[in-house]
Amino acid sequence: MIGLGYVGLPTAALTASAGHTVLAYDNDAALRESLRAERATGSETDVAELLASALRDERFFVCDRVQPADAYIVCVPPPTAGGRPDMRHVEAALADVAAVVSSGELIVLESTVPPGTTERVVRQALRGAGKSFLNVHISHAPERILPGDVVRELRENDRIVGGRTREDAEKTRDLYASFVSGEIHLTDLRTAEFVKVIENTYRDVNIAFANELALFCEEIDVDVWQAIALANNHPRVNILEPGPGVGGHCIPVDPLFLADQNPFATELIQASRRINERMPNLIVRRVVGLVGEGDGKRKVAILGASYKANVGDVRESPARRIRDLLDERGFRTAVYDPLARLPEAARSVEEAAENSDAILLAVDHDAFRDIDPVALAPIVRSRVLIDCHNFFSEQTWSACGFRVYGLGRGSHFTFPQALSRQQSTTA
């Protein structure tokens, strides 16, 4: 196993629990040391348990370099830099594999990559090591887990396996079938790469559609949440929810692989990206519309820092972008997130909300359900709630004197008198 991060470590631990001997390598020496000490910091609990038992049973060995094996699974970071595919991690990992791989062994690339990449980079790596492409089995087995329940997802999700040949795909299926109970669908390399990328692109486009509807609804006094719920009663309609943007290191990134590969054939994909990218700016404009410009004194309490509900991962988080934009516009900000580990964050909702001019719900963590506006009303400076997820009861917060802006909630949102209708449409 090469790459022991969020996906690689649980995959390696599961492979060991299925009875294989796993020789695990990550180029982060500090990570290797903590894994040897059974410290899977930041991992979900069941991953840490699986790792501890595999280490104790001597089925899992943390190695200081890539070791010869029957199969090599490469799971290194998503290849992007500044919005463009960047194959450096994948190439470096495959060069290490190429140095030790022998005829008849299997190389599986799990990292999400643009269509056509696996064959090209493996061929390049093997050529660099003076080895023949034809003697090695090659496949792409993209990962489709949803963070938060990674072990169950790894076990139970269906998988797509693309092989350079049918035999390569079948060899990979046999390996994964030892710990995957979901169905394993076989195809060719390029199709497997494409399928993984379009799954995330589909979600990005669908969310952009929901965001466009949200902004439209604000103009025509319709509640988008109700409208989408009603539309989704239709058996062939499934619109996702609007929100303050799209985060994580998959959904906002994978569409760029296609856009980069063919800018002229991806107009919808690129427009969707732009819509979702703009959402944090829009939310910040709503803040300004409600409480005035940042003047160095006005404070916004941001609830949530992670990129989505009930996880602590802050990568590409819209909440983070909102905070940066507010800081740039001269607001003081305080963030509270019970799941994300941020040294600078407030330790409680109350600490974040104290003397604030607006409370902004950026992430719909279940843990925020208990927030009581009765307790917050006396400690804030002005009672304004900005709810990006239709999460809180407007009635309850209004009853405590809060002005509530809910994204996409039509007439529920009223700009201050000073701001004309025309200004609001340009916001």
Ligand X SMILES: NC(=O)c1ccc[n+]([C@@H]2O[C@H](COP(=O)([O-])OP(=O)(O)OC[C@H]3O[C@@H](n4cnc5c(N)ncnc54)[C@H](O)[C@@H]3O)[C@@H](O)[C@H]2O)c1
Binding site for ligand X (CB under 6 A): 2-8, 25-28, 31, 75-78, 89, 92-93, 110-112, 143-145, 147, 250
The encoded tokens of residue 276 equal 């979702």
Strand locations in 239-336 (E): 299-303, 332-336
Nearest distance from C-beta of residue 315 to ligand X, angstroms: 9
- Cβ proximity of 404 and 412 under 8 Å: yes
Nearest distance from C-beta of residue 204 to ligand X, angstroms: 14
What's the CA gap between 387 and 390, in Å, rounded? 6
What's the CA gap between 320 and 340, in Å, rounded? 11
Burial of 55 from C-beta contacts in 10 A (0-12 / 13-18 / 19+): buried
Helix/strand number for the chain, H first, E second? 16, 14
Cα angle 326-332-336, degrees, rounded to a multiple of 5: 90
- Nearest CB to ligand X, comparing residues 63 and 222: 63
How many residues are given for the chain?
427
What's the CA gap between 306 and 28, in Å, rounded? 24
Nearest distance from C-beta of residue 231 to ligand X, angstroms: 29
- Nearest CB to ligand X, comparing residues 106 and 145: 145
Nearest distance from C-beta of residue 95 to ligand X, angstroms: 8
Choosing from 250, 299, 308, 388, the catalytic residue is 250
Catalytic residue list contains 297? no
- Nearest CB to ligand X, comparing residues 223 and 313: 313
- Nearest CB to ligand X, comparing residues 92 and 374: 92
Nearest distance from C-beta of residue 78 to ligand X, angstroms: 4
- Cβ proximity of 66 and 26 under 8 Å: no
- Nearest CB to ligand X, comparing residues 157 and 281: 157
Report the C-alpha dihedral over residues 240, 244, 248, 202, rounded to 10 degrees: 30
The encoded tokens of residue 291 equal 């409480």
Strand pairing report for 80-81 and 84-85:
antiparallel
- Cβ proximity of 1 and 73 under 8 Å: yes
Catalytic residue list contains 250? yes
DSSP, collapsed to helix, strand or coil, labels residue 333 as: strand
Nearest distance from C-beta of residue 126 to ligand X, angstroms: 16
- Nearest CB to ligand X, comparing residues 112 and 266: 112
- Nearest CB to ligand X, comparing residues 30 and 220: 30
CA 43 to chain CA mean position, Å = 15
DSSP, collapsed to helix, strand or coil, labels residue 18 as: coil
Give the residue nearest to ligand X (CB). 5
Closest CA to 109 of 126, 127, 91: 91
Choosing from 196, 299, 308, 388, the catalytic residue is 196
Q: What is the largest CA-CA distance in the chain?
A: 75
The set of catalytic residues is 196, 250
